[in-house]
Amino acid sequence: MTAMTYRHLQLRRVAGALGAEITGVDLGALSDAAFVEIQRAFCEYSAVYFPDQRLTPEQQCAFTGRFGPLTHHPLIATLPGHPHVAGLVREADSTGMNFGGSWHADSTFMESPPFATSLYAIEVPPQGGDTLFASLYLAYETLSAGMRELCDRLVVVHSAAAAYDPDRGANDPKKSLIMQKGMQYNLTEDPKKEMEHPLVCVHPVSGRKVLWETGVYCLRFRDMTEEESAPLLNYLRRHIANPNFTCRMGYRPGTLGMWDNRAVQHFAMNDYAGYRRVMHRVQVGGPPPVGPAMPVRTVTTASQTATVPVH
């Protein structure tokens, strides 16, 4: 892809695979022309971050809401008075698993998972606490033709059970998210609920295919057991985490990071024991993903369909 030019912001690529740092903009007072370029950069680089911002929760919501309607994570508590802002808190003395501390894409157990997430740094450790991103475009494009053809035909059953269901070990403080000190959960959806999405999705803006394996939320392939599905899912997970497909986003207080949940997996580093980290997280809803194995989706919770041509 040819890199595009930007007139209303400065953009620095941070890795060969994906990711860009954007400066020269104030997200709290953004012109329409600058926003159009940010939208373009978001799709071109899949993960972007803006250092040195000063945003209230309202301003973070106003900026993120320019991408589309805000939704909320169905399992994390939001800040009082801010129904779209989830607080991600890890205390200095927290131990065990951190929120987001494995490769995943966000909330893919939902029928219409968020297409974008913004994360605003309130309090960060002096070092560590970065987020890693992996390009699911590159993950797909580097598979062999035979494996791409197989993946194109598969449908994955997603659920939040592995992370949030006490019946699957979510009460174990070493493995579980919901037992961690600092975080507040609000399980408004049944974590056992299952949702099908195509393994290969077509990105609605770029038209490119992505390998939409989303980590902990992918339980099994449709019409297969978990045991039968595990070898291929595990192979794809190792493939996606290839360092050549990744970039790394670091934070100072006031950094806002944003990622395209249709095109990346991410991983919150857990390398800052003894320090507190507080982030505000806002997400944008999107239509359900479509791909060769599920070219048309009819949303059951709203009268909405999404289609893509299948090649």
Residues that bind ligand SIN (CB under 6 A): 88, 100, 106, 117, 119, 131, 266, 268, 279, 281
Residue from 117, 139, 52 nearest 283 by CA: 117
* Residue nearest to ligand SIN as judged by C-beta position: 100
State the Cα–Cα distance between residues 200 and 308, nearest whole angstrom.
12
Contacts of 121 (CB under 8 A, 6+ apart): 251, 252, 253, 254, 255, 256, 257, 278, 279
**Residue 182 or 295 having the CB closest to ligand SIN:** 182
Report how far residue 132's alpha carbon sits from residue 268's, in angstroms, rounded to the nearest whole number. 6
CB of 119 to ligand SIN, least distance (A): 6
CB of 2 to ligand SIN, least distance (A): 30
* 150 versus 278: smaller Cβ distance to ligand SIN: 278
Can you say how many angstroms the Cα of residue 74 is from the centroid of all Cα atoms in its chain?
A: 14
Buried b (16+ CB within 10 A) or exposed e, 120-141: bbbebbeebbbbbbbbbbbbbe
State whether residue 48 is helix, strand or coil.
Answer: strand
Smaller CB separation from ligand SIN, 253 or 295: 253
By beta-carbon proximity to ligand SIN, the closer residue of 72 and 281 is: 281
Cβ distance to ligand SIN smaller for residue 209 or 266: 266
Q: Least CB distance from residue 177 to ligand SIN, whole Å? A: 10
Q: Which is nearer to ligand SIN, 163 or 219 (CB)?
A: 163
- Least distance between ligand SIN and beta carbon 100 (Å): 3
CB of 7 to ligand SIN, least distance (A): 31
Q: How far is the CB of 224 from ligand SIN (least distance, A)?
A: 27
Residue with tokens 């996606």: 240
Nearer to ligand SIN, 158 or 266 (CB): 266
Residue 89 carries which side chain, given as an amino acid letter?
A: V
β-bridge partners, 217: none
**Alpha carbon distance 56, 120 (integer Å):** 10
Q: What is the DSSP string of 136-196?
A: HHHHHHTS-HHHHHHHHT-EEEE-SHHHH-GGGTTT-TTT-STT-TT--B---S-TT--EE
Nearest to 151 by CA among 161, 143, 163: 143
Which of 119/258 has CB closer to ligand SIN? 119
User: From the CB of 301, what's the least distance to ligand SIN, in Å?
Assistant: 22
Report in angstroms how near the CB of residue 117 gets to ligand SIN at its nearest: 6
CA distance 248 to 220: 29
The nearest distance, CB 283 to ligand SIN, in angstroms, is: 8
Helix (H) / strand (E) containing 232:
helix 226-240
Q: Which is nearer to ligand SIN, 120 or 137 (CB)?
A: 120
- b vs e for 291-308, b when ≥16 Cβ sit within 10 Å of the residue's Cβ? bbbbeebeeeeeeeebeb
